Amino acid sequence: MKKWVLTLCAVLAVVMVTAACGGSGEAGGKTNQDTNASTGGKAEGEESSAGGSVKEFTIDATNFEFDLKEIKVKQGDTVKITLKNSQGNHAVKFEGYDEEVQGGKTISFVADKTGEFQYVCSIFCGAGHADMTGKLIVEA
């Protein structure tokens, strides 16, 4: 009887992890702007209402990795982030800014604090989930 219960629990755990990584649905969360536009890199010279430039980035998420490991902007820039989920179901949370972007969505926020801020996958996606990190660097 014990083996049967343990086997059932193991199978359920595998199903849950697989569903989290392989799904393409959206998870709830805070977004400032919803769009399907994919920008692929920086847009220089565009002025934002905060006085800085608008910097646009697309993060491509696959299972256990972001293609963009580091984002550099200046304080006062408006940062536009689009998340593309090429593999699995992921979201990106920017620690220190209380901002999160879901797959297929875009957010924007003003980089008003200088320093280095980690960004992480905020949807548990399996064994390599903890490796899904990057760094937002805001320079004065």
CB 113 within 8 A of CB 96: yes
CA gap 69, 124 in Å, rounded? 19
Backbone angles phi, psi at 127, to 5 degrees: -60, -35
Least confident of 25-34, 52-61, 62-71: 25-34
> By the 8 A CB rule, do 78 and 49 touch?
yes
Q: What is the DSSP letter of 47?
A: B
Residue 20 pLDDT exceeds 60? no
Task: Tell me the average pLDDT of the chain.
Answer: 76
Note the pLDDT tens digit of each residue in 65-119.
999 999 999 999 999 999 999 998 999 999 999 999 999 999 999 999 999 999 9
All domains of the chain, ordered by start, with CATH? Answer: 2-139 (2.60.40.420)
Tokens of 32: 């400032």
Other C-beta atoms lying within 10 Å of the C-beta of residue 135:
13
**110: closest CA among 64, 51, 29, 28?**
51
Question: Stretch 42-57: mean pLDDT, rounded?
Answer: 65
Mean pLDDT score, 43-59: 71
Nearest to 134 by CA among 77, 58, 78, 75: 58
Half-sphere exposure of 93 (CA within 13 A, CB side): 13
Give the pLDDT of residue 3. Answer: 64
Q: Which helix H or strand E contains 6, and what residues bound it?
A: helix 2-22
